[in-house]
Amino acid sequence: MTPRPAQPQNSPEAGSTRTVDRAFDLLAAVTERAAGGGASLSELARATGLSPATASRLLGTLLRRGLVRRDEHGAYRPGLGLMQLASVVLRGEPLYELAGPVLVELAAATGETANLGVPVDHDRALYLRQVAGDQRVQTAVWTGRTIPRAGTAMGAALAGAVGDDGYASSRGSLEPDITSIAAPVRDHDGAIVAALTILAPSYRTSERDVERHGAQLVRHARELSLALGSP
C-alpha cells in the first residue's frame, strides 16, 4: 500500500487528528485519576497541557458520548460508555477470564493483593485485574494503572529476568512502602504474555514472606500458563 503524504499542519485533517489526540489524552487522564476520586477540569487541563477552555469543550463531547461522567462533587470520572466498551473487550480475552479464579486462589493463599499485569509496550506495563487479600490493611487499587517496566518486579517478570526460584521482587519501586513480587505467565508458544504479582506493605513483608509469596506466585503462574496452553 502506498503511504499517504503527510498533511500540512494547518490542514483540516491535521486539525482533526490533533483534536482526537487531545480527547484521548483527556480520557486517559480521567481514567488514571479514577482511583483517587476523579479529577477537576483544572487538574485535567494541567495534566494534558490544554487550556481550560479546550479541555472543557472536549470533555463536553466525552460527556455526551457517555465516556466520562461528573460525580456529585463535579469531578470527572470514567463513564458507563467507557466501562461498557472495556467489558466487551475483556470478555473476548481468554487471559482475563482465566486469570480470575487464579487470582482469587493466590490472594487467599497469601492474604495479600494479587494482580494480573500485561505489557503495554517496551517501556510500560498495565495492571489489568486485581483481587484483594484478607488483610485489614491492603495496598491501593492498581487496576487500569500503568507503571514503568524498568526497575519493577513486574517488568522483570515480563522480560523473563527472574531468579532460579522463578520470580522477581522489588521494594519501593512502585511506592516507597510497597513490596512487589512477580512471576511470568506464558502462552501456548511459550512466550511471556503476562505476569502475576503480589503487592504487599513492606512493613509486614519479611524476606521469608517474599520467598513464601514467590513460591505461590510461581505455582499459580504455572497453573495459568497451562490454562493458556503453555507446554
Q: What is the CATH number of the domain that holds 30?
A: 1.10.10.10
Over 80: is that where the pLDDT of 10 sits?
no
Over 70: is that where the pLDDT of 17 sits?
yes
Of 18-27, 61-70, 139-148, the least confident:
139-148
Q: Which domain holds residue 35?
A: 12-86
Over 90: is that where the pLDDT of 216 sits?
yes
Cβ–Cβ < 8 Å for 116, 194: yes
DSSP assignment letter at 39: B
Together in a domain, 36 and 100: no
Q: What is the pLDDT of residue 136?
A: 66
Q: With cut-offs at 50, 70 and 90, classify the pLDDT of residue 112.
A: very high
Asked if residue 4 belongs to a domain, the reply is no
Together in a domain, 152 and 63: no
Cβ–Cβ < 8 Å for 182, 157: yes
How many domains are there within the chain?
2
Please return the burial class of 199, using the count of CB atoms within 10 Å of its CB with bins 0-12, 13-18 and 19+. buried
Q: Return the exposure string of 93-110: e unless at least 16 CB atoms fall within 10 Å of the residue's CB, then b.
A: eebbebbeebbebbbebb
Together in a domain, 104 and 217: yes
Q: What is the pLDDT of residue 2?
A: 38
CA angle 116/110/198 to nearest 5° reads 30
Q: What predicted TM-score, i.e. pTM, was given to this entire model?
A: 0.72
Q: With cut-offs at 50, 70 and 90, classify the pLDDT of residue 199.
A: very high
Quickly tell me which residue has 455526551 as its cell.
64
Q: Which three cell numbers stand for residue 180?
A: 512487589
